[in-house]
Amino acid sequence: MKEVLLTLLSLTLSGSLLCVLLLLIRPALRNKVPKAFTYYIWLAVLLRFLVPVGYGIHLPEPPQPVREAVTQETQLPHQAEVQTTPVTLPTEQAPAEQDETPEPSAPVFPLTGVLFVLWLAVGAGFFCWHIAAYALFSHRIRASLTPPPAEALALFQQLKHNRRVGLVCSSQVGTPMLMGLFHPVVVLPQSGPLFNGPALSAVLRHELTHYRRGDLFYKWLVTLVTSLYWFNPLVHWMGRQIALDCELACDEAVIRSMDPAQRMDYGDMLLMLAARQGRTSAGMAATLCEEKRQLKARLLGIKGYRKPGKAAVCLALILGLIVTCCACTVVDMDPQPRATTGEFDPYKTLLARYEEAFLQQQPDDYPDLVSAVIAPYWGQEHQIGYARRDLDGDGSEELLLGWVGNDIWNLDQGYVFAIYTLVDGQPVLAVEGWERNLYVVREDGVLCHCGSSGAGRTEWHQYRFDPSAEGFLVELDQVSVPVDGESAVAIGESWMESGVALPYTPFSGGGKSPYQDVLLGNSSFLYLDDSGQGVPTFLLDIPLAFSPYSSYAAVTEFAVLDLDGDGNQEVVLQVTDVANDMGGYVILRQEGDEIRGYPSHWRTFWQLKTDGTFTYSSLSGTEEGVASVRFTEEGLTMEPLLRCELDVENTTYEVDHQPVSEAEYEAALEAQAQKADAVWYELNETNIRQLTA
């Protein structure tokens, strides 16, 4: 709902700016450009209100300082300085608080929900009211229809040029009009001395012009935009201007072939129609003359009509191009990108400071950063990193910092020591932890927390992350010891074990490659499955992807080289099964902050060379050759360089996609064999640390 409202606000500002632009240039266009131009140029504005895409423009904003969340203060025995956290842990000095369990916050219907329902209800009511009014008017007209006079019908058949539109008369109308979207008819008043000779011809040509230009569809489009933006007074003003411009454009089309005397007669006819009383409102029909407020502008337009020259046409084309270009822009109500991994990253500066602080290991020099991240209690070898995850489902990712994973106590799920969120586009420290104040993230986004101030003073909590709540957390459940004894320990430990493995990106740690932590099994990478989706995966899980029912499958060797020639190294992992056969390969590639894993079947990457080329064979055995790889949005793609298609009757050979003879193919294979071989290393800790440093 929030995204819908922001999009609506962005479009209404963009459309309103375009309306103001046309309002400013309108006086300068009077009688200088064709009336049809001033009518149809509004289509650009209507589309700007309806189409939520375009080139973004940002409204100027004052710079916002980085703010930190104001949370409760807690002193733990091992913590020398005051830490900020939304949780108060039990202490011996406050035993009365141990038995108190805060009540979960009652759900509150957000303001965005109220505004969304209000906008939708009023807009739907506005549109339905127009439909009902038109349906009632159409019913009254149909009940009073009579055949038109023979003279009018004959002239109408002559003018309409076999178009699918009818002609009828009705006693319920006081002015000629066009009705019906899908079965259009021109409706004439049943009585009156106005429709004889030239006047009748002008009337019919006016209404047929409405039909030919599709003005009824245009009117319903205006009604749709007015219903969506009922709260914007400029939209209602625009609707009235479009109605006036519609009639001016039709008048211009009718009088274009008239002499001055006939134009005066046409104007007199409009005056007489405006003087008729007892007319029924036409609603969504295209009338000849109903709005008396428009009459003055129409008469002035008829009196001052001049055939547009070449200069007027050129001016209209230039203005049309300018307005169209302006219509392609949209006001960006959220200048910060929703996905924080894009070209602009609001967390970039913050992460750079954490990287610097992590290398220096001097927490006192960075008082605004979380010390447990800068100088972890158990040392750098356990790897500190960061991940991004949308914890509250608002489309904006939070930044999580903590352990990438380590061997102590088998904490593979990773602990979170700090959570930053965006407030007014700036990162704000929302949740802070340390060695005795630990958080893990569950699959559904719930934060599980374990806090302790001593062996006998431990609490476990479950929280929902909510930036609108005080302290950014809403408590869902809580147990503690010694109040609940052993049962609390069992429940609390099960909560902490429910944390999921996050695809962390480790800090550089003095120049180490992020491949090192993946190969050591300390952090996960995104394994691209058959659907192309990235699945967080650890090194030990790779063999299962190739041989899920084999206990012999394992990652045995790896090679480090630049496969695609982009200047960055990839890691090729070899998976083997029984008798070193029927395994496969996984290519690890760093893309931004992520390590991605691309699988490849076991008939690839044979005789791998240092330039990234290798020998391959298809699984069916009907094709073999030499190939290289490319990395695209679709995944890993093989690019055959030498190709031999085996066929019982006819074997074909290609070199660089060009057909060649067998001798030329063999010569190219010999040249490939002379290239330097890539080195495969046994997958062990020593090789990993040396080759990925």
Alpha-carbon gap, residue 33 to 319, rounded angstroms: 10
Q: What share of the chain is helix, strand, coil (3-state, %, to 5)?
A: 40, 25, 35
Q: Is the pLDDT of residue 178 over 70?
A: yes
Task: Please state the rounded mean pLDDT for residues 431-444.
Answer: 86
3-class DSSP assignment, residue 406: coil
Bond from prior residue into 482 cis (ω within 30 degrees of 0): yes
The predicted model gives 599-612 an average pLDDT of: 90
In Å, what is the CA distance from 212 to each residue of 5, 188, 209? 37, 18, 5
Whether residue 425 has pLDDT greater than 90: no
* Residue range 674-687, pLDDT digits in tens: 999 999 999 988 88
pTM above 0.85, yes or no: no
What gap in Å lies between CA 689 and CA 692, rounded to an integer?
6
pLDDT at 484 > cutoff 90: no
Give the per-residue pLDDT at 103: 43
| pLDDT the model gives residue 93 | 38
pLDDT tens readout for residues 34-54: 888 888 888 888 888 888 776
Percent of the chain with pLDDT over 70: 78
* Mean pLDDT, residues 494-521: 74
Q: At 190, is the pLDDT very low, low, confident or very high (cuts 50, 70, 90)?
A: confident
CA distance linking residue 247 with residue 251, whole number of Å: 6
Q: Is the separation of the CB atoms in 625 and 640 below 8 Å?
A: yes
The pLDDT of residue 107 is above 50? no
pLDDT value for 664: 93
Residue corresponding to tokens 């290519």: 587
**Which residue in 199, 94, 190, 95 sits closest to 143, CA to CA?**
190
In order of 178, 207, 276, 297, the CA distances from 203 in angstroms are 11, 6, 16, 18
- Burial pattern 559-582, b for ≥16 Cβ within 10 A else e, equals bbeebbeeeebbbbbbbbbeeeeb
236-245, 527-536, 577-586: which is most confident: 236-245
145 burial via Cβ count (<10 Å: 0-12, 13-18, 19+): middle
> Using CA atoms, how far apart are residues 369 and 258, in angstroms rounded to an integer?
81
Q: Which of 249-263, 339-353, 471-485 has the lowest mean pLDDT?
A: 339-353
DSSP letters for 172-192: T-SS-EEE-SSS-EEEEESS-
Which of 543, 545, 540, 571 minimizes the C-alpha distance to 687?
A: 571
192-222 pLDDT, tens digit each: 655 566 777 888 888 888 888 888 888 889 9
Q: Do residues 305 and 298 touch, judged by C-beta distance below 8 A? A: no
- The residue among 634, 672, 518, 639 whose CA lies nearest residue 586 is 518
pLDDT single digits (tens) 109-166 = 567 778 888 888 998 998 998 888 888 888 888 888 888 878 788 888 878 776 788 8
DSSP characters for 31-70? TTS-HHHHHHTHHHHHHHHH---SEEEE---------B--
φ, ψ for residue 441, nearest 5 deg: -110, 125
Classify the C-alpha dihedral 689-690-692-693 as positive or negative: positive
Q: What gap in Å lies between CA 355 and CA 358, rounded to an integer? A: 5
Q: What angle do CA 237, 44, 17 make, to 5 degrees?
A: 55
Query: Which residue is it, tokens 């000629």?
Result: 176
Q: Give a three-class secondary structure readout of 95-142.
A: HHHCCCCCCCCCCCCCHHHHHHHHHHHHHHHHHHHHHHHHHHHHHHHH
Whether 607 has a pLDDT exceeding 90, the answer reads: yes
- Alpha-carbon distance 523 to 529, whole Å? 18
Q: How many residues does the chain have?
A: 693
The strand pairing partners of 632, in sequence order, are 635
* Mean pLDDT along residues 447-451: 90
